[in-house]
Amino acid sequence: MAIREIRVVPDPVLRTPCDPIKEITPAVRHLVQDLLDTVDDPGRAGLSANQIGVNLRAFSYNIDGKVGYVLNPVLEETSGEQYGDEGCLSVPGLWYKTRRADYARVRGIDLDGNPVVLEGHGIMGRMLQHETDHLDGHVYLDRLEKEERREAMRYMRNHRQ
């Protein structure tokens, strides 16, 4: 299908909670293929639909060579804690230490309406939380301490293309 352009902060689509997918249509199948094509690039761990301008609850992932997707994901459970570097395709060039749960579990469906459960620790847990945040209208900068968040937003304003 297509590798799509990534929306960048301050694009308002990134701050808009995404709508649930009510029906698996050809457009939803096309969206999933575009998400998979766009995330299938070295250094990309996850990609939410709103990052390519589509306001639907779906994301794709690319962790440890495994590429997949989930529709209507809901973050069900988190535990533990990790504090490490996090970046975002919608916040290019910036990496900040970000506090997340170490373990996360997401439940959703696939294109056939079958239940999907994704879970993991470390980078997988971080990605699950990061992408569901996107679908809820948040970017990882929201999780930073106040001064770091100000610094990041100042950088984004000054380096906008």
Residues assigned a catalytic role? 131
33 touches 1 (CB < 8 A): yes
Amino acid type, 140? Y
Tell whether residue 88 is among the known ligand binding residues.
Answer: yes
Cα-based torsion angle of the residue sequence 98, 99, 105, 109 in order, rounded to the nearest 10 degrees: -30
Tell whether residue 130 is among the known ligand binding residues.
Answer: yes
* H helix or E strand, kind and range, residue 72: strand 66-79
100 touches 39 (CB < 8 A): no
Residues contacting 161, CB < 8 A, separation 6+: none
103 touches 79 (CB < 8 A): yes
Binding positions for Fe cation are 88, 130, 134
